[in-house]
Amino acid sequence: MKRLILAADPDFLPGMNLTARKASDLLPNQSAHILRFEDMIIAGKLMAMGILPEAHIEMVRRNALGQTLIYRINSRFKIALRRDEAITIIIHEG
């Protein structure tokens, strides 16, 4: 899979932050904001479903031994993601 960077912040340089936090790192009831997506196809689909950079993302629960993750987006709707889908969402606090 070709990995391309999609940044919410245009000045963001790819590869600078190697310890970037991912949506899959959130624990239940923790929340953050989306910074960027690392997989273009997943990004396209997530964005069409209303999940964009800067969106508020809250982990609701982990199921199936942490392989299926449930998130609430912008306090409005819930979505189920596979772990390998959530791992492509880079988040930042605040």
Partner 1 sequence: MSKTPFSGEKLVILAGNPNSGKSTLFNLLTGLNQHVGNYPGVTVDKKTGKLKLSSEQEVTLLDLPGAYSMYPTSKDERVVVRQFLSSEQKPDLVVYVADVSQLEKQILLLTQIKDLGYPVILALNMVDMQGITIHADQLADHFNIPVVPISGKTGLGIMALKLQIAQLLDNPSEHQEAYYKLSAEEKDITETVGADLPSPSKYGKLLSVHHYDWLEHIHADQKSKIKQSIQEQGFNSLQGQISETLSRYSKFTPVIRKSLHLDAGGAGMKITDKIDRWIMHPVFGVFFFFLIMLLIFQAIFAWATVPMDFIEATMATFSSGVRNVLSEGWVTDLLCDGLIAGLTGIIVFIPQIAILFFFIGILEEIGYMARAVSMFDVSLRKIGLNGRSIVALVSGGACAIPAIMSTRNISNWKERLITILVTPFISCSARIPVYAILIGFAVPQGRIWGFEQQGLALMGLYSIGIVAALSAAFILKKIIKSTDRSFLMMELPIYRPPVAKNLLFLVYEKTKAFVLGAGKIILMISLVLWFLASYGPEDLGFNKSSSTEMIDTKVGRTPIESSFAGILGKSIEPVIKPLGFDWKMGIAIITSFAAREVFVGTMATIYSIEDDSDVTSIRTKMAEDKDPQTGAMIYNVATTWSLLIFYVFAMQCMSTLAVVKRETKSWKWPAIQFAMMTGLAYLSSFLVYQVLS
Helix runs in 19-70, H state only = 40-48
In the region spanning residues 5 to 24, those forming contacts with partner 1, defined by CB under 8 A, are 6
The correct pick among 17, 28, 30, 67 for binding partner 1 (CB under 8 A) is 67
Cα–Cα distance, 59 to 14 (Å, whole number)? 25
| Residue 78 interacting with partner 1 (CB under 8 A) | yes
The reply on whether position 30 binds partner 1 by CB under 8 A is no
Binding span for partner 1 by CB under 8 A among 11-19, 26-34, 66-74: 66-74
Q: With the C-alpha atoms ordered 49, 59, 25, 81, is the resulting torsion angle positive or negative?
A: negative
Q: Residue 24 CB, nearest distance to partner 1 (Å)?
A: 13
How far apart are the C-alpha atoms of 56 and 26, rounded to whole Å? 12
Which stretches within the chain are classed as H helix? 40-48, 83-86
Q: How far apart are CA 51 and CA 18, in angstroms?
A: 23
Of the candidate residues 7, 22, 31, 52, the single one contacting partner 1 (CB under 8 A): 52
Would you tell me which residues interact with partner 1 (CB under 8 A)?
Answer: 4, 6, 40-53, 60-65, 67-68, 70, 74-82, 85
